[in-house]
Amino acid sequence: MSKIGLLLVCSLSTFVAHAQFGINSSFRFNNAPGWNYTNTSNNNVTVLPGNNFAVGLDVWLPLKGVRLDLVPELNYTRYISKVVDLGTLENEMGSIFLNLNLYFLDLKGDCKCPTFSKSGSLLNKGLYLQVSPGWSVFQGKINLLNGAGARSRSNAPSIGIGMGLDMGLSEKITITPFGGVRYYPKARWFGLEESLQLDPSVGDLMVSNESTLTQVYAGLRIGFRLDKQ
């Protein structure tokens, strides 16, 4: 695991021993139009940074008086794209997401999640709307076949919106399918423009170091309550 991933895991490990936490995996589809690369010699289009699985660790912090939960999350993913006749482009993303889960069908309910053994339907007790401001660190690596390359680091804010459904399996375990969209208004991959335009006869002159970035994702979370006996 890279240094970013290791740092994210270690930072959250102190919370895990104290009780209410979750792990998740999601598949993320990315669209960054300013980063899309077209090889003009063969018209092949590479959609950067690519798509892949992400993993996350979170802590569950319910707020009193209303069913609004704060679930801060550390998230990590790595994207690798191998481009024919060009080389390899890699981007790692380490993120902090401040997830706010609103159980809008049961705002005044008595649920101390998971959702088992509570009156009312699973949908009413378990369905939530999520708003998620975030901050991400991008580490880009470019290794071209001609020996050129670049490494860079940048960061960017984002906002996400999604939905999930908590389903309690026992007194200690909840599973939650979830999905949503995350938007970065300004993501930067320094060196991308310079590296891919070294040879105008091959490179795409439209590629840019800066782009909007939209992620569509779906995944599954497993929540644990170690304070339950």
- Per-residue pLDDT of 194-204, as tens digits, reads 887 655 555 56
Q: For tokens 């026992």, name the residue.
A: 170
Give 28's pLDDT tier (boundaries 50, 70, 90). Answer: very high
Residue-wise pLDDT tens digits, 117-171: 455 678 888 999 999 999 999 999 999 888 878 899 999 999 999 999 999 888 7
Phi-psi region of 136 (alpha: psi -120 to 50; beta: other; left: phi over 0): beta
| CATH number (domain holding residue 67) | 2.40.160.20
How many domains does the chain divide into?
Answer: 1
Q: Residue 215: what residue type?
A: Q
Contact between 82 and 88 under an 8 Å Cβ cutoff? The reply is yes
pLDDT higher than threshold 90 for residue 97: yes
pLDDT for residue 61: 87
Rounded CA separation 126/165 (Å): 5
Cα angle for residues 208, 212, 213 (degrees, 5° grid): 110
| Mean pLDDT, range 32-60, rounded to an integer | 89
What range defines the domain where residue 16 resides? 3-225
Higher pLDDT, 71 or 196: 71
Contact between 204 and 192 under an 8 Å Cβ cutoff? The reply is no
Mean pLDDT of the chain: 85
Residue-wise pLDDT tens digits, 2-14: 665 555 555 555 5
Cα angle for residues 13, 15, 20 (degrees, 5° grid): 120
Rounded CA separation 159/64 (Å): 25
Q: Can you tell me whether residue 72 is helix, strand or coil?
A: strand
Q: How far is CA 220 from CA 178, 180, 223, in A?
A: 6, 12, 10
Give 66's pLDDT tier (boundaries 50, 70, 90). Answer: confident
pLDDT for residue 206: 77
pLDDT for residue 79: 97
pLDDT for residue 145: 84
Phi first, then psi: give them for residue 6, nearest 5 degrees: -65, -40
Give 39's pLDDT tier (boundaries 50, 70, 90). Answer: confident
Distance of CA 62 to the CA centre of its chain: 22
